[in-house]
Amino acid sequence: MAFPNEQTPNFLQGTIEALNFYGGVPKILKPDNTKAASIKNTKDVLVLNKVYEDLQDYYNTVIVPAPPLKPRAKSTVENNVKWIETHLLEKLKGRRFSSFSELNAEISIIIDELNNREFSKEKGNRKELFDKYDKPALKPLPHESLKSYTYVIKTVPNNYHVEYDNHYYSVPHTYYKQEVTLKASYFDIIICDSMNHLICTHKRAYKPFPKYITKEEHMPESHRYYYLENKMNAESYKS
């Protein structure tokens, strides 16, 4: 597939589309050593990008980026990249497409032809070998693909609400001054701590008001008292 760039959202979506194309999940994913996949990758420490960490957990696989500088066993990958560049780009050379959707539709047709092309020096084709040897070793895909989220790092202010898209979502007040990761999809807001452990979730708000989306259990005791007092009315005092 073609993408406008190799930034993290596109790198993530490309991985998801690849797994969908294969129809299964390998035990280990080994992406290139790019910041889109890993923040730190040394012989002693591996820190995945939180986006890729979520993908690892969701698909129940292990992500081990290629080591930096001089990775071993990369020649096989590079040879296959060279092969696809030679055959795919040659068929696309000189053609113009009005959108990535149009371009990717054409790429899909070409890739299908290439995978079903008979080998010149032996029997079979790439599709047959994949179905025979690789696909049986894959774990099944989840029922749904991983949702695409926007990730934002926030520091919890003293009012214990973190801002996204001009709305403010509460976290437990004990997280004051701590760094959290806010993950936003079209439907929901997920907030995790610095170790990527879930803190809380909210439905994403789109209406101009209220600006503050607050869960009662996130309030300190003094705030909760006034919050409950303000909710009282004449009916509340009737016995």
Considering 108, 137, 166, which residue would you say is the last residue of a domain?
137
Is there a single domain that holds both residue 28 and residue 120?
A: yes
In a domain, 166, yes or no: yes
Considering 85, 112, 137, which residue would you say is the last residue of a domain?
137
CA distance 17 to 32: 17
CB contact set of 23 (below 8 Å; sequence gap of 6+): 135, 138, 141
**Which phi and psi (to 5°) does residue 145 adopt?**
-70, 155
Is there a single domain that holds both residue 77 and residue 172?
A: no
Is there a single domain that holds both residue 194 and residue 105?
A: no
In the 8-state DSSP scheme, what is residue 66? P
In a domain, 42, yes or no: yes
Tens-binned pLDDT, residue by residue, of the chain (239 aa):
998 888 888 889 899 999 999 999 999 998 888 888 888 888 888 899 888 999 999 999 999 988 876 666 667 788 888 999 899 999 999 999 988 889 999 999 999 999 999 999 899 999 999 999 999 999 999 999 998 788 999 999 999 999 999 999 999 999 999 999 999 987 899 999 999 999 999 999 988 899 999 999 999 998 887 777 777 665 655 65
Is there a single domain that holds both residue 58 and residue 121?
A: yes
In the 8-state DSSP scheme, what is residue 205? P
Give pLDDT, residue 97.
93
In a domain, 238, yes or no: no
Give pLDDT, residue 78.
84
Task: Give me the domain span that covers residue 167.
Answer: 150-231
Number of domains within the chain: 2
Is there a single domain that holds both residue 184 and residue 129?
A: no
Is there a single domain that holds both residue 93 and residue 171?
A: no
In a domain, 237, yes or no: no
Report how far apart the first and last C-alpha atoms of the chain are (Å, whole number).
67
Write the DSSP assignment of 118-155 as a string of letters: BPSSSSSBHHHHIIIIIGGGSBPPPSSPPPP-EEEEEE
Is there a single domain that holds both residue 108 and residue 156?
A: no
Q: Which helix (H) or strand (E) holds 198?
A: strand 198-203
Is there a single domain that holds both residue 128 and residue 56?
A: yes
Question: Residue 26 is encoded by which pair of tokens?
Answer: 């390998």
CATH number of the domain that residue 133 is part of: 3.30.420.10
In a domain, 3, yes or no: no
In a domain, 143, yes or no: no
Considering 110, 137, 164, which residue would you say is the last residue of a domain?
137
Give pLDDT, residue 203.
94
Residue 207, Cβ density class (10 Å: 0-12 exposed, 13-18 middle, ≥19 buried):
exposed
Is there a single domain that holds both residue 72 and residue 185?
A: no
Is there a single domain that holds both residue 89 and residue 110?
A: yes
Classify the phi-psi angles of 174: left when phi > 0, otherwise alpha if psi is within -120 to 50, otherwise beta: alpha
Give pLDDT, residue 226.
77
